[in-house]
């Protein structure tokens, strides 16, 4: 147990699921939130968090996470700012690039691998080395039900999300004895800027009820609560799990 204030590095922490994690972790951890390009949104969300938690330290880091070098740079900048390594790492940054596998240039698939697999693996290695030394740490990698419940146009998305699941579970095995947990969150459809158009379309076509047994998209705060638990002391014995949060979507077809 360290005496300094613990902090959490959250990639994609300025929007959607990453931001929901930031809000849920703010009562306990200082926050380093990374984003790629939308600095207006990032600053506005940082101000909101800071207002809600005046004693909390919240720092923003703009970094286009597209490979090992950018991951290394982000980690170095954040550690220098906080003067220590993060106790919590949430890997949430990433975009969708849907398109049929044989039609898309391979560079698109390669970019998915860098962004959704190489970056979280690199950040996790950097963070877990320190957590291992500290004998305490929490890593949560954001996957998707799309790792197992496939959709046309998402071949590389399925590949990287399956990859992050295997990676996380095997790493959990290597570091569990040092108080470091590594878990995976596999959400279904959650209301975020990434899915706003998709949800509007499903609502207009009256398809939400058919596709999702719960009859609605999930809320970011529902993701936040789960991640807050995974990062707590209470969750010390939970590691290597894949937690699905999808309103029953991956169970099958909800229509008659
Ligand atoms: N929403 C869902 O229904 C859902 C379901 C399953 C899994 N997921 C997964 O959840 C994660 C987050 O999705 P979301 O819905 O929260 O998306 P979102 O609302 O679009 O937020 C994405 C965040 O990641 C940042 N980001 C995107 N690409 C980046 C890059 N190359 N380098 C650095 N930062 C980058 C964005 O920064 P800027 O705003 O500056 O671009 C933003 O902060 C993704 O891994 C996604 O695959 C989402």
pLDDT above 70 covers a percentage of the chain that reads 99
List pLDDT tens digits, range 132-144.
999 999 999 999 9
For the question of residue 53 being annotated catalytic, the response is: no
Give distance in angstroms: CA of 180 to centre of ligand 1: 25
Query: With a 6 A CB cut-off, is 70 part of the ligand 1 pocket?
Result: no
Could you give the CA distance from residue 183 to residue 68 in angstroms, rounded to a whole number?
21
CATH of domain 7-190+220-244: 3.40.50.720
List pLDDT tens digits, range 155-200.
999 999 999 999 999 999 999 999 999 999 999 999 999 999 999 9
- Listing DSSP states for 18-67 in one string gives HHHHHHHHTTT-EEEEEESS-HHHHHHHHHHHHHH-TTS-EEEEE----S
Query: Quick one: pLDDT at residue 254?
Result: 78
List pLDDT tens digits, range 108-127.
999 999 999 999 999 999 99
pLDDT band with cut points at 50, 70 and 90 for residue 3: low
Query: With a 6 A CB cut-off, is 120 part of the ligand 1 pocket?
Result: no
Residues 6+ apart with CB under 8 A from 157: 96, 97, 98, 112, 116, 144, 146
Q: Which residue has the tokens 């380093």?
A: 32
Residue 153 in tokens: 């146009």
Look at ligand 1, atom 20, and give the residue with the nearest C-alpha. Answer: 194
Query: Quick one: pLDDT at residue 253?
Result: 82
Please check the confidence at residue 2 and state whether its pLDDT lies above 50.
Answer: no
CA of residue 107 relative to chain centroid, distance: 23
Q: Specify the range with the lowest mean pLDDT, choosing from 61-65, 117-121, 146-150, 223-227.
A: 146-150
Residue boundaries of the structural domains of the chain:
7-190+220-244
User: Which of 58, 240, 59, 221 is closest to 139 using CA atoms?
Assistant: 240
Please check the confidence at residue 77 and state whether its pLDDT lies above 70.
Answer: yes
Please state the pTM of the whole predicted model: 0.98
- Which of 9, 10, 12 is the pocket-test mutation for ligand 1 (most atoms within 8 Å of CB)? 12
For the chain, what is the mean pLDDT?
A: 96
Query: With a 6 A CB cut-off, is 64 part of the ligand 1 pocket?
Result: yes
Q: Which residue has the tokens 């044989």?
A: 102
């Amino acid at each position: 147990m360290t005496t300094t204030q613990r902090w959490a590095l959250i990639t994609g922490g300025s929007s959607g699921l990453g931001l929901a994690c930031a809000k849920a972790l703010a009562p306990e951890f200082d926050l380093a939130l990374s984003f790629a390009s939308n600095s207006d949104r990032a600053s506005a969300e940082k101000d909101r968090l800071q207002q809600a938690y005046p004693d909390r330290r919240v720092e923003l880091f703009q970094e286009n996470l597209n490979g090992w070098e950018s991951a290394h740079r982000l980690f170095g900048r954040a550690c220098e700012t906080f003067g220590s390594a993060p106790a919590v790492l949430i890997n949430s940054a990433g975009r969708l690039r849907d398109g049929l596998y044989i039609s898309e240039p391979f560079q698109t698939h390669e970019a998915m691998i860098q962004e959704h697999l190489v970056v979280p693996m690199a950040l996790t290695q950097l963070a877990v080395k320190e957590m291992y030394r500290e004998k305490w740490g929490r890593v949560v990698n954001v996957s998707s039900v799309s790792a197992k419940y496939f959709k046309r146009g998402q071949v590389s998305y399925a590949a990287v999300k399956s990859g992050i699941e295997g990676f996380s579970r095997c790493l959990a095995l290597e570091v569990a004895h040092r108080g470091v947990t590594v878990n995976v969150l596999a959400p279904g459809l959650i209301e975020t800027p990434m899915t706003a158009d998709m949800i509007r379309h499903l609502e207009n076509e009256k398809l939400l009820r058919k596709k999702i047994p719960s009859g609605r998209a999930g809320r970011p705060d529902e993701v936040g609560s789960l991640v807050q638990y995974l990062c707590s002391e209470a969750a010390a014995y939970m590691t290597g799990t894949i937690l699905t949060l999808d309103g029953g979507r991956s169970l099958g077809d909800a229509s008659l």
